[in-house]
């Protein structure tokens, strides 16, 4: 690489005490138990290799604690410079290691022992990381006036965010995660995800897929450092040459805006693209009224629709698993963990922007199958 600029890495650590406690349990619960201290020592080795691979590389570390997110370390504004000299350690590594471990210990001790643990604020940490990337990648005023060799040295070429998650999906965070994904696309930030513990998270799968990153579900948890170095150490520009593992299946299901349930079949407002789990007379987001006839037709087609989709799924296993409408909303837990995966995007049937303002708002079906013929 003749590029003298370094690459920026922001790491998000999910620090939910309950999930890490569960992760440390031995067999039969976990074949490969991974306690927090072992995770941290492997993570610090990975962070040190990122700093060591190029002098210009920059690093920021964010922690997602229950109910709050904190910046733990940043190369741009390191918190404590007064480190004791240790002949046996390289000072930059020592600064990263001691700052991160001290900050995590402080924050975990400040949590105390609450009655009920709040879900970890992974989304707020993700948004902070995006704001940080925006700040460090924006060209400063002094350098924009005098471009030295065609590119601004202040602009980092490929910023990326690595999410180390241990928590399951939180369906209320669907809309903020999607907004964060769109911001990441605009900033050209790659989001990599490593699911260290717990079930696959479909929102983070979508985040990695939509920003060109990798989603890795950690199967051999005793080999965390190897996964991190093999998959996430190389910046996105080099990954085209290396064969970095990517996900072969992406779960594209969305959460409805009305109940925040993850739905297999949803109904999309043709004006503002809000998603609902059942046909609604008035869109709660943009207040568009739908014609009574459309509602009746969609309602009448719903049982037929699910049976026709399940017929189709017998012939092609990639079709998303369909459930009867009565089951929708009744068991959110089952719908997030039933493992229904799809390699085709059910959102392919979204009405495009051309349908906006054509005078006759229609509720369109997410799966793209036209309900009309079945209803008649």
Summarize as ranges the residues that interact with Zn ion (CB under 5 A): 256, 258-259, 269, 271-272, 274, 277, 283, 285-286, 288
Residues 6+ apart with CB under 8 A from 49: 229, 233
Q: Are 19 and 9 in contact (CB under 8 A)?
A: no
Work out how close the CB of 364 gets to Zn ion at its nearest, in angstroms, rounded to a whole number.
11
Nearest distance from C-beta of residue 343 to Zn ion, angstroms? 25
Taking the C-alpha atoms of residue 164 and residue 293, their distance in angstroms, rounded to an integer, is 48
What is the DSSP track for 286-331? T-PBPPHHHHHHHHHHHHHHHHHHHHHHHH-TTSPPP--GGGTTT-
CA distance 250 to 345: 9
- What minimum distance in Å lies between the beta carbon of 283 and Zn ion? 3
22 versus 285: smaller Cβ distance to Zn ion: 285
Instruction: Name beta bridge partners: 194.
Output: 164, 216
Taking the complex as a whole, the smallest distance from the CB of residue 51 to Zn ion amounts, in Å, to: 46
Tell me whether residue 153 or residue 329 sits nearer to Zn ion (CB atom): 329
User: Which one, 155 or 178, has the nearer CB to Zn ion?
Assistant: 178
Task: Please identify, using beta-carbon distances, which residue of 111 and 272 lies nearer to Zn ion.
Answer: 272
Phi and psi at residue 74, to the nearest 5°: -150, 135
Token pair of 121, please? Answer: 């604020």
Nearest approach, Cβ of 270 to Zn ion (angstroms)? 8
Considering only CA atoms, which of 373, 333, 322 is closest in space to residue 168?
Answer: 333
Q: Are 177 and 64 in contact (CB under 8 A)?
A: no
Name which of 113, 87, 99, 119 is nearest 44 in CA terms: 99
User: Smaller CB distance to Zn ion: residue 286 or 304?
Assistant: 286
Retrieve residue 161's tokens: 């965010």
CB-based contact 356:271 (threshold 8 Å): yes
Task: Report in angstroms how near the CB of residue 267 gets to Zn ion at its nearest.
Answer: 9
Cα separation, 57 vs 241, whole angstroms: 20
Query: Measured from the CB of residue 288, what is the shortest distance to Zn ion in angstroms?
Result: 5
If you ran DSSP here, which 8-state letter would residue 322 be given? P
> What is the smallest separation between the CB atom of 353 and Zn ion, expressed in angstroms?
13
- Is 40 or 258 the residue whose CB approaches Zn ion more closely? 258
Closest CB 289 distance from Zn ion, rounded Å: 10
DSSP state of 119: P
Cis peptide upstream of residue 71 (ω within 30 degrees of 0)? no
- In this complex, which beta carbon is closest to Zn ion, that of residue 130 or of residue 269? 269
Q: How far is CA 175 from the centre of its chain?
A: 12
Place of tokens 């520009």: 237
Q: Which is nearer to Zn ion, 198 or 325 (CB)?
A: 325
Q: Is 47 or 256 the residue whose CB approaches Zn ion more closely?
A: 256
Cβ closest to Zn ion, residue 66 vs residue 325: 325
Cα(349)–Cα(368) distance, integer angstroms? 4
Q: What share of the chain is helix, strand, coil (3-state, %, to 5)?
A: 40, 15, 45
Lookup: tokens for 172: 């209320």
State in angstroms the smallest separation of the CB of 269 from Zn ion: 3
């Amino acid at each position: 690489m003749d590029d003298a600029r370094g690459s920026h890495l922001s790491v998000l650590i999910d620090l939910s005490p309950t999930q890490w406690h569960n992760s440390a349990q031995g067999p039969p619960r976990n074949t490969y138990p991974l306690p927090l201290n072992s995770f941290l020592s492997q993570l610090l080795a990975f962070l040190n290799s990122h700093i060591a691979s190029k002098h210009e590389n920059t690093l920021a570390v964010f922690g997602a604690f229950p109910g709050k997110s904190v910046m733990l370390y940043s190369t741009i504004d390191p918190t404590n410079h007064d480190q004791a000299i240790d002949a046996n350690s390289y000072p930059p590594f020592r600064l990263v290691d001691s700052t991160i471990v001290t900050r995590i210990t402080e924050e975990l001790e400040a949590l105390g022992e609450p009655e009920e643990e709040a879900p970890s604020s992974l989304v707020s940490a993700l948004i902070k990381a995006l704001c940080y990337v925006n700040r460090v990648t924006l060209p400063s005023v002094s350098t924009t006036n005098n471009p030295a060799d065609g590119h601004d040295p202040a602009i980092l070429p490929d910023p990326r965010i690595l999410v180390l998650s241990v928590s399951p999906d939180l369906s209320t965070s669907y809309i903020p995660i999607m907004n964060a994904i769109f911001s990441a696309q605009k900033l050209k930030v790659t989001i990599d995800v490593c699911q260290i513990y717990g079930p696959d998270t479909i929102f983070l799968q979508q985040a990695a897929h939509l920003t060109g990153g990798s989603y890795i579900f950690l199967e051999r948890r005793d080999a965390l450092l190897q996964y991190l170095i093999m998959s996430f150490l190389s910046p996105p520009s080099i990954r085209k040459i290396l064969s970095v593992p990517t996900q072969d299946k992406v779960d594209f299901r969305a959460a409805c805006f009305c109940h925040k349930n993850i739905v297999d079949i949803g109904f999309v407002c043709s004006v503002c693209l809000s998603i609902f789990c059942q046909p609604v007379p008035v869109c709660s987001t943009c207040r568009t009224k739908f014609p009574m006839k459309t509602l009746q037709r969609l309602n009448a087609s719903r049982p037929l629709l699910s049976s026709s989709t399940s017929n189709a799924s017998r012939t092609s296993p990639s079709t998303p698993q369909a459930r009867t409408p009565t089951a929708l909303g009744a068991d959110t837990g089952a719908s997030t963990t039933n493992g229904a995966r799809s390699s085709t995007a059910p959102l392919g049937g979204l009405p495009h922007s051309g349908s906006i303002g054509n005078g006759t708002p229609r509720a369109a079906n997410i799966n793209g199958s036209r309900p009309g013929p079945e209803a008649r």
